[in-house]
């Protein structure tokens, strides 16, 4: 966008993903009750401009200062012009509702994430603008003196919003707009949004493009030098620390060793120092809030739900009033913050320890946050770093191993299971000194998947019986795909006479599985594992209905693992394959595939890996003997039929080797989408024919538009018999 230009509000909103009133701004003021005269004069000017049939001179609202920030999403951060832009937003919304242009309004002012005009000053203001922009249940009628009453009575309006100064001022302004403009009969919304003959304009100025800074803007507005988000938080925190006995010590650490810790990380990761520091404190407040709530997440009121979501994801400033209202930093939590930051400062040279910290403060991933909480909880139970002995370090290692296994093998992708996992870790932390002994006698009752809780108890019993199990288990728990889930390996390793897992058998099986589930094999373009399994059985896992999966290799989340290869490893075919392969796993797989003799569609897929390759998401539609290859996840994407697909590939090879019959002058495969059937097109003796495969077998048709089944030429019959022996069609 030009550095300085004349715009209407609609033109600006259509050029960006959102317009944001940043945290450093004050609340909306033009709607305050005490500025009635200012409001009246401003609305009168707007009314005159919109009523003028042939306005030759638009109303110029002077300069709007700000910065364009972000690359996706791309937003305009307002530094001067907040009051005028807010009033313009309310004016556009009101006229759209009044004149029946709400859909047009929402196309410009509403995105998937909410209102494109929003306040970052306070979460309640942001929620109000989101709700207002999306509302479709406001109906104006004569005799309705107050539109604010209509809004407040809506189900989507939270009464707590009325305590937000910005929301309160917006309601007052909407009432004033209603009183000034309701009786006007001309189409004001169309005039307001007309960019060819604009009625209301302003001069946009990008501060960065003109070499101006936020500091200059602050001075222009007599506000003095601005504080960063973290400096604002720190100023409040230091005053808050005066109320606790360790306050001076914590304040000193804020400026010294903890600053060194965050500075080191910020330089390494190229992330703003202040952002990391604030993120840590917001995260610690988040943990405290999760520990505080009673009952499940779904039982919480909206205020608490919003608070938890905000703490979990925000790396910027949160008003001190909110921290105080929720008692986020009581003396106990501040002591815990001190312990945690001291620990990571002392271990800043330990890359493994520091990685958990980095992951937590640089992402809002639930799993990373759960793993960091696990560390926080253990550190808290020690009480003082002076108590950190070699024995404690050993306990910590065991704690990280067990909790890592539990976290990696539980679906934690929303707040409800996250809070449940927090409670499970709180309960488990009571036994941190004798963790294996506790688990050997008990199964953790909640917090994580039942299967993994039982597996950890099973492994604890083995370790208690023989300490050498610990390192053996840990070695394979670290596998990139298993990530702690080795219970199925213990099942494979059970000694028939003793009926318990045997270490020699376990190591033998685990070493082969480690290769089978390695990235090299799972991401192989030859699909050796998939094809080898098909020689033994139909191992495919049901996705939904008649849709089945060869399994994708993705492993970034537990859901991806649990819905794919972790389902396969429990199947008899997988156990048989593990026993069948030798030490050279890849060579063994190739031999198994080469000697395949299973018949049916499985044999065809084994001999033609390009069939799997066609399925970008590794999905097929399987109904009896009929197999459809899906390029996407459903029939809405392109799909092919297995046997005609393979027949076309065979024709390609014959054509390449110049072995194709002269009667076939051209051919091609027609993949389709929807309910249509894919087919092989052949130009036979200058006529077009279409080969289909269905429950009746291969059939030949002579017309695509008005098809008639015709007799299959002998040459084609022989070709089909050659490519598809009888058992391949079974």
Mean pLDDT, the chain, as a whole number?
90
**Residue of 339, 69, 414, 60 whose CA lies nearest to 203:** 60
Question: For position 485, what pLDDT does the model report?
Answer: 98
Q: What is the distance between the alpha carbons of residues 76 and 80, in angstroms, rounded to a whole number?
A: 12
- Backbone dihedral angles phi then psi of residue 663, each to the nearest 5 degrees: -65, -25
Percent of the chain with pLDDT over 90: 66
Question: For position 42, what pLDDT does the model report?
Answer: 85
Task: Name the more confident of 219 and 593.
Answer: 593
How buried is 141 (Cβ within 10 angstroms: 0-12 exposed, 13-18 middle, 19+ buried)? exposed
Contact partners, residue 373, CB within 8 Å, separation at least 6: 287, 422, 425
Q: Are 206 and 68 in contact (CB under 8 A)?
A: yes
pLDDT tens-digit readout, 555-604: 999 999 999 999 999 999 999 999 999 999 999 999 999 999 999 999 99
Distance in Å from the first CA to the final CA of the chain: 65
Query: Tokens 């938080």 label which residue?
Result: 233
Q: Output the six-digit token pair for 518.
A: 């390695």
SS (H, E, C) 506-523: HHHHHHHHHHHCCHHHHC
Q: Are 682 and 689 in contact (CB under 8 A)?
A: yes
pTM for this predicted structure: 0.69
How buried is 504 (Cβ within 10 angstroms: 0-12 exposed, 13-18 middle, 19+ buried)? exposed
- Return the bridge partners of 13, or none: none
pLDDT tens-digit readout, 449-507: 999 999 999 999 999 999 999 999 999 999 999 999 999 999 999 876 667 789 999 99
Contact partners, residue 95, CB within 8 Å, separation at least 6: 101, 181, 188, 189, 192
- Interhelix angle 273-292/229-241, rounded to 10 degrees, is 50
Question: For position 462, what pLDDT does the model report?
Answer: 97
pLDDT tens-digit readout, 528-554: 999 999 999 999 999 999 999 999 999
Query: Tokens 């027609």 label which residue?
Result: 670
Query: Tokens 């008692």 label which residue?
Result: 327
How buried is 716 (Cβ within 10 angstroms: 0-12 exposed, 13-18 middle, 19+ buried)? buried
> What are the strands, taking DSSP E only, across 441-576?
541-544, 547-549
When mean pLDDT is compared across 194-198, 563-567, 641-645, the lowest value belongs to 194-198
How many CA atoms lie less than 13 Å away from 189 in the CB half-sphere? 17
When mean pLDDT is compared across 279-283, 617-621, 690-694, 722-726, the lowest value belongs to 722-726
Percent of the chain with pLDDT over 70: 94
Angle (CA) 429-558-350 rounded to 5° is 55
Q: For 20-35, give one letter per residue: b (16+ CB within 10 A) or e.
A: bbbbbbebbbbbbeeb
Task: Name the more confident of 566 and 30.
Answer: 566
Q: What is the distance between the alpha carbons of residues 149 and 162, in angstroms, rounded to a whole number?
A: 12
pLDDT tens-digit readout, 399-457: 999 999 999 999 999 999 999 999 999 999 999 999 999 999 999 999 999 999 999 99
Q: Are 477 and 484 in contact (CB under 8 A)?
A: yes
Range list of H helices, 66-213: 82-99, 102-109, 123-134, 147-152, 165-181, 188-192
Taking 50 as the threshold, does the pLDDT of residue 99 lie above it? Answer: yes
pLDDT interval class at 213 (50, 70, 90): very low
Q: Which of 79-88, 145-154, 187-196, 331-340 has the highest mean pLDDT?
A: 331-340
Question: For position 231, what pLDDT does the model report?
Answer: 74
When mean pLDDT is compared across 25-29, 339-343, 637-641, the lowest value belongs to 25-29
Q: What is the distance between the alpha carbons of residues 729 and 620, in angstroms, rounded to a whole number?
A: 17
Query: What are the sequence ranges of the domains in the chain?
Result: 4-220, 229-446, 514-634, 641-729
Question: For position 3, what pLDDT does the model report?
Answer: 52
């Amino acid at each position: 966008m030009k550095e300085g230009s004349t715009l209407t509000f609609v033109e600006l909103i259509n050029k960006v993903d959102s317009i944001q009133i940043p945290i450093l701004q004050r609340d909306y003021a033009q709607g305050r009750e005490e500025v009635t005269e200012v409001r009246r004069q401003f609305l009168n000017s707007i009314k005159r401009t919109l009523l003028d049939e042939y306005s030759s001179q638009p109303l110029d609202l002077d300069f709007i200062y700000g910065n364009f920030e972000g690359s996706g999403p791309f937003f305009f951060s307002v530094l001067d012009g907040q009051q005028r832009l807010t009033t313009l937003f309310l004016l556009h919304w009101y006229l759209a509702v009044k004149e029946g242009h709400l859909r047009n309004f929402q196309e410009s002012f509403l995105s998937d994430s909410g209102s494109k005009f929003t306040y970052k000053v306070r979460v309640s203001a942001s929620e109000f603008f989101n709700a207002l922009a999306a509302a479709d249940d406001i109906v104006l009628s004569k005799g309705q003196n107050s539109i604010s009453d209509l809004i407040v009575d809506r189900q989507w309006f939270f009464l707590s919003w009325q305590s937000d100064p910005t929301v309160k001022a917006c309601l007052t302004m909407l009432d004033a707009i209603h009183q000034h403009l309701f009786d006007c009969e001309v189409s004001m919304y169309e005039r307001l949004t007309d960019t060819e003959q604009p009625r209301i304009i302003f001069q946009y100025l990008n501060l960065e493009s003109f070499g101006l800074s936020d500091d200059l803007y602050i001075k222009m507005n007599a506000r003095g030098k601005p504080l960063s988000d973290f400096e604002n938080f720190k100023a409040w925190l230091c005053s808050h620390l005066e109320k606790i006995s360790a306050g001076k010590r914590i304040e000193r650490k804020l400026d010294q060793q903890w600053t060194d810790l965050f500075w080191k990380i910020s330089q390494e990761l190229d992330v703003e120092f202040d952002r990391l520091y604030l993120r840590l404190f917001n995260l610690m407040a988040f943990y405290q809030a999760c520990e505080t709530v009673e009952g499940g997440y779904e039982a919480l009121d909206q205020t608490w739900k919003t608070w938890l979501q905000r703490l979990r994801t925000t790396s910027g400033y949160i008003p001190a009033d909110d921290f105080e209202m929720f008692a986020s930093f009581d003396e106990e939590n501040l002591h815990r913050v001190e312990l945690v930051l001291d620990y990571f400062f002392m271990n800043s040279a330990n890359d493994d320890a520091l990685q958990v910290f980095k992951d937590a403060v640089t992402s809002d991933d639930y799993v990373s946050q759960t793993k960091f909480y696990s560390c926080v909880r253990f550190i808290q139970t020690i009480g003082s770093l002076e108590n950190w002995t070699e024995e404690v370090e050993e306990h910590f290692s065991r704690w990280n191993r067990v909790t890592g296994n539990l976290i990696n093998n539980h679906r934690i992708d929303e707040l409800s299971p996250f809070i449940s996992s927090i409670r499970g870790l709180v309960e488990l932390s009571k036994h941190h000194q004798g963790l294996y002994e506790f688990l050997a006698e008990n199964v953790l009752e909640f917090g994580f998947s039942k299967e993994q809780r039982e597996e950890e108890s099973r492994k604890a019993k083995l370790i208690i019986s023989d300490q050498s199990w610990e390192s053996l288990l840990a070695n394979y728990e670290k596998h990139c795909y298993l990530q702690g889930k080795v219970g199925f390996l213990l099942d494979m390793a059970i000694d028939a006479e003793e009926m318990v897992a045997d270490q020699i058998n376990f190591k033998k099986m685990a070493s082969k599985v480690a290769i089978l589930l390695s990235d090299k094999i799972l991401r192989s373009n030859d699909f050796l594992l998939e094809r080898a399994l098909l020689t033994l059985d139909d191992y495919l896992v049901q996705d939904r209905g008649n849709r089945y999966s060869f399994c994708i290799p993705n492993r970034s989340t537990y859901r991806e693992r649990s819905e794919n290869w972790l389902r396969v490893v429990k199947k008899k075919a997988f156990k048989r394959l593990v026993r069948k392969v030798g030490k050279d796993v890849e060579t063994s797989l190739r031999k198994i595939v080469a000697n395949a003799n299973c018949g049916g569609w499985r044999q065809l897929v084994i001999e033609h890996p390009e069939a799997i390759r066609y399925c970008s998401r590794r999905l097929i539609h399987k109904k009896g003997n009929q197999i459809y290859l899906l390029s996407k996840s459903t029939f809405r994407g392109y799909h092919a039929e297995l046997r005609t697909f393979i027949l076309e590939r065979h024709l390609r090879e014959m054509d390449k080797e110049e072995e194709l019959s002269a009667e076939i002058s051209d051919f091609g495969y027609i993949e389709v989408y929807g309910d249509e059937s894919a087919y092989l097109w052949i130009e036979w003796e200058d006529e077009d024919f279409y080969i289909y495969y269905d429950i009746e077998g291969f059939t030949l048709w002579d017309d695509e538009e008005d098809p008639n089944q015709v007799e299959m030429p002998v040459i084609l019959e022989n070709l089909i018999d050659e490519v598809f022996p009888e058992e391949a069609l079974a």
